[in-house]
Chain A
Amino acid sequence: MFELNALELSQAIREKKLTVVEVVSAYLDAVKKIDEKINAFLCINAEYALSKAREIQKKLDAGEELSKLAGVPIAIKDNISTKGFKTTCASKILDGFEPIYDATVIEKLEAAGLIIIGKLNMDEFAMGGSSETGAFGAVRNPWDISRVAGGSSGGSAAAVAAGALPLSLGTDTGGSIRQPCAFCGVSGIKPTYGAISRYGLVAYASSLDQIGPIGRSIEECAALLEIISGEDNKDATCVMQKPFAFTERFKNKLNGIKIGLPTNYFEKGIDNGVKNAVLAAAKTFKEAGASVIEFNMPFTEYMVPSYYIIASAEASSNLSRYDGVKYGYRSKNAVTLNEVYRMSRNEGFGLEVKRRIMLGSFVLSSGYYDAYYKKASDARSLIKSAYEKLFEQFDMILSPVAPTTAYKLGENIDDPMKMYMGDIYTVSINLAGLPALSIPCGFDEQGLPVGLQLTGNAYSEATLINAAREYQSITDWHTKKPGDVI
């Protein structure tokens, strides 16, 4: 059963070779064993999962189609609202919080017959790149449990990499799906802004956040992306009317596909292991028929600063609702209203979240708005139009996901600037609202996975997925599993 990918697993279930309960039970057992080592889960609800499994089995037995992922177990990043599971965003301020409603993506998953078994660990409120900033312990990388899983969707990537689950949902605000996928050697997609409903995604930075799928292969991710995508009348920014349907494949493999390679991304601040693996992948694409064209990515110096200004500004506002009044943590020592606010937030939020709330409040404050927020928004427009121009030339851009492979737990946590520079290849894509995917493309000299990133024009997911499919059909990096975790 664990050898089957998500699509094969569902097919076996629909062909009655396996029952949903069998599958869910087996994975619940696997999760229990694996999670002791990697701390990917914040909450598991076996009872809920098994009762859903029985319900879906009944529907399948009654001849309902559901979807090509029906019966497949899945887990959800803990910043997505789920009625049957606590939703904490890995923060003390929401410790024990039980949502009263399901996110739109959750409704879609359940309608498609997937079985949610638990919620996944992450950086607190998705702020971080190592899944160490959460209040409930760091996620560990299945390839080396002394290393980080990446973040902020570290639990989502690590759980899939370790084989605890065939699929998971993550969220990506500045690289939070792509970078942990690269660190853990799995595949993931950050969809176009506006393709997936954010209703029920606990907001970090509203204009950048998107939910996306994580799986071992791009094929599995694509199937999951089809299910969660499409218009939602509860989210005004979700404008893509129809869900994706990735039925058409490249007719002529990679022939005629134009891939841009930003040479300045490989010049400095990048590990050799990463550089070599990604450039080797570029060669593979070329050998498979694509034309790989070198260029210089403009505005790289503006990317990280404008991302952190905009994301922090929005975060400072989005996180104001955690005030100790309505739900979540309230300081026991608070007496006056101001104390409820000050002490609850001071005791409830972690360091990185506080840092970004303060940064965000500062850049929005009167007298500084024009110098920071306004300027960052202008830079964002420049970056956006630069990408538009590039995609007149290329079908996609091939780049590294992160400058390094997974580093040691605690190695960078006290150096926010170093941590922020780790986002250099990913954040501009969120600023421009574009789709990008991350797939494994090799290992560094320490045996740690390296990922590559394909970025496309808005709503060009099908093209990116097809290119990744071709790559995965001629390479086997995505099939490699960490050794002794299970």
Chain B
Amino acid sequence: MSLEMIIGIEVHAELNTKSKIFCTCSTAFGGEANSKVCPVCSGQPGSLPKLNEAVVECAVKLGLVLGCTINRNCKFDRKNYFYPDLPKAYQISQLYFPICTDGKLEIDINGSKKSIGIREIHIEEDAGKLIHAPSENGTYIDYNRAGVPLLEIVTNPDFRSAQEVVAFIERLRETMLYLEICDCKMQEGSLRADVNLSIREQGNELGTRTETKNMNSLRAISRAIEYERERQLEIINGNGKVVQQTRRWDEDKSKSFPMRSKENAQDYRYFPEPDLQPLEISEERLNEIRKNIPELAQEKRGRYMSEYGISSHAAGIICASKNMAGLFEELAQKSKEPVEAANLITGELMRLINNFNADMDTLTIDVDKLAFLIYLVVNGKINRGVYKDIVGEVFTNNVDPEKYIAEKGLLVVSDDDAIIAAVNEALSKNSAAVGDFAAGKEKAFTFLMGQAMKSLGGKGDPVSVKRVLLKVLNEKNSCE
């Protein structure tokens, strides 16, 4: 008997619109409890929802990018259930006519591509948060998050491994970051995924599935999948039956625990939301949104390689963050040296980002200064070592490279008199090496070159130093 694991996931993405989905309260994360609430999002008697059109735009953008059918006449429904974090005791969602259906997203698994089907994307509102205070034997409610817009992205049961799930979420995350519709911070809960998992004999009908919730990192998702796979396999191998249930992942205990089973599953009594008109999206508006879809990571990577001639590896590093890609494009354009720009970003800048634990997605740096430094190094005005140092200075202290170089006298010395003097000094101090060179030892030349550069304080133009050194040595040899 050959068993296989089948997984489908539901991803909840909090949209980064300025205001909430049905009122004008801010969506900013955190803040004093209940400081971002109004009659609408706190469910006061008589208040009514008014749809934030920016939410529709986000949903359509993602739908288009994922190749979905955009349902131009979609509707909202009420999902009714009691819970203290849900102020109206119903969530406005979409059951019968979701905004997007039937899409796909391609993932890369060990070099081969796999397409994951998207069943639907629907719009809904988030709930508030409960803050338990065991010491007071009570619970507080914070409605700041209530009414924050969410997209729920539901996949087909197309995954066969945790690795595929992780790759999918990473791709989806990258896509949403490039579309700038979601912060995708799993720790803050702006991106969450529920995993539906079942096991079947290959080729047979789907087995009974469980749904695992409450994973707040990719690692947790991976572990929760492995845990659930083992748990179900153990039941099946012991001739038991998997029970359909919802389970809660406990990261500290590295285990999941049952929350509720099918028998006591809630009846959400969905029905069409009477407070909102059906949502109509005109052809015109659809085209407008389509036009505003930015270039995505995948496209950028390809273009960087063909247009700028940079390596696939470098393009991959740069495009991992939309911010870094933007920085690269600006620097390539301003310096007119795309390869040099790519090297600077993937090399020195990445090293600095790692050292200082900076955030790639929000990093700002003066690109004009970097472009100027590239100009200097490419044209031999400064040496590589000096270049790296100044990039670091710009990164940490935002120094003005021109002033900095002038103050510290870092420009390359290409004045022959100074170089001749330095070469002569090196030769007179190291007569043994001079002898070695005359005896045909190549290494002696490198050593003497180093000594001459040292006495020039590292600023000597290497080409000139080499030329002068060779000339002087040759003259010496021919004299003797």
Contact = CB atoms under 8 A, between A and B. Distances in A.
Contacts of B277: 236-237, 239
Interface stretch (B39-47, B159-167, B391-399, B402-410): B39-47
Interface string B120-148: 00000000000000000000010000000
B42 A326 contact: yes
A326 B269 contact: no
Interface in B52-82: 78, 80, 82
A205 B275 CA distance: 10
A200 B46 contact: yes
A182 interface: no
Contacts of A67: none
A386 to B, nearest CB: 21
B78 A317 contact: yes
Contact of B141 (A202, A316, A325): A325
Contacts of A337: 84
A388 to B, nearest CB: 19
A370 to B, nearest CB: 12
B46 A316 contact: no
Nearest to A367: B267
Contacts of A114: none
Interface string A286-324: 000000000000000000000000000110110011110
Contacts of B380: none
B90 A317 contact: yes
Contacts of B84: 323, 325, 337
Contacts of B114: none
Nearest to A320: B89
A320 B48 contact: no
Chain A, interface residues (CB within 8 Å), range: 35 or more
A203 B46 contact: yes
A394 interface: no
A361 B82 CA distance: 13
A80 interface: yes
A80 B275 CA distance: 17
B269 A99 contact: no
Interface string B80-115: 101010011110000000000000000000000000
A373 B271 contact: yes
A200 B39 CA distance: 9
A341 B82 CA distance: 8
Contacts of B51: 236
B45 A97 contact: yes
Nearest to B43: A321
A264 interface: no
B48 A100 contact: no
A97 B45 CA distance: 10
B275 A236 contact: yes
Contacts of A205: 274
Interface string A233-249: 11111010000000000
B25 to A, nearest CB: 13
A332 to B, nearest CB: 16
Interface in A171-214: 198-203, 205-207
Contacts of B82: 320, 323, 341
Contacts of A341: 82
A201 B46 CA distance: 5
A94 B275 contact: no
Contact of B267 (A80, A87, A313, A366): A366
A119 to B, nearest CB: 13
A200 B88 CA distance: 15
A235 B48 contact: yes
Given A199-B47, A236-B51, A326-B42, A207 B274 contact: yes
A99 B42 CA distance: 12
Contacts of B42: 326
Given A317-B80, A323-B89, A326-B87, A234 B50 contact: yes
Contact size range, B: 20 to 34
Nearest to A239: B277
B177 interface: no
B296 to A, nearest CB: 33
Given A317-B271, A320-B90, A199 B78 contact: no
Contact of A81 (B45, B89, B267): B45
A365 interface: yes
A103 B44 CA distance: 11
B317 to A, nearest CB: 46
B48 A87 contact: no
Contact of B44 (A100, A325, A364, A369): A100
B45 A94 contact: yes
Contacts of A369: 269-271
Contacts of B80: 316-317, 320, 364
Contact of A202 (B45, B87, B271): B45
A101 interface: yes
B276 interface: yes
A366 B271 CA distance: 11
Given A97-B45, A201-B46, A234-B48, A316 B269 contact: yes
B54 to A, nearest CB: 15
A99 B46 contact: yes
B49 interface: yes
Contacts of B45: 81, 87, 89, 94, 97, 99, 202-203, 321-322, 327
A239 B280 CA distance: 15
A234 B39 CA distance: 11
B89 A103 contact: no
Given A317-B80, A320-B80, A206 B46 contact: no
A221 B141 CA distance: 44
Interface in A340-368: 341, 361, 364-366
Contacts of B89: 317, 320-321, 323
B267 A101 contact: no
Contact of A236 (B87, B90, B271, B276): B276
Contacts of A89: 45
Nearest to A366: B267
A354 to B, nearest CB: 16
A325 B88 CA distance: 11
A237 B271 contact: no
A337 B270 CA distance: 23
Contacts of B49: 236
B93 to A, nearest CB: 13
A81 B270 CA distance: 27
Nearest to A88: B45
A361 B269 contact: yes
A241 to B, nearest CB: 14
A383 B271 CA distance: 20
Nearest to A200: B46
Contacts of B269: 316-317, 361, 364-366, 369
A206 B50 contact: no
A94 B271 CA distance: 26
Contacts of A316: 80, 269
Nearest to B51: A236
Nearest to A233: B50
Contacts of A313: 271
B148 to A, nearest CB: 18
Interface string B17-50: 0000000000000000000000100111111111
Between A79, A101, A205, the greatest number of chain B beta carbons within 10 A of the residue's beta carbon is seen for A101
Interface in B267-294: 267, 269-271, 274-277
Contacts of B271: 313-314, 317, 364, 369, 373
Given A100-B39, A237-B276, 14 more contacts: A79-B46, A89-B45, A94-B45, A103-B46, A199-B48, A201-B46, A206-B274, A237-B274, A317-B89, A317-B269, A321-B87, A323-B84, A325-B141, A361-B269
Per CB-CB distance, the 8 closest pairs between chain A and chain B, nearest first, are: A320-B89, A364-B269, A207-B274, A206-B274, A81-B46, A202-B45, A200-B46, A202-B46
Interface of B: 39, 42-51, 78, 80, 82, 84, 87-90, 141, 267, 269-271, 274-277
11 contacts: A79-B46, A99-B46, A101-B44, A203-B46, A235-B50, A236-B49, A237-B276, A237-B277, A317-B78, A317-B89, A369-B271
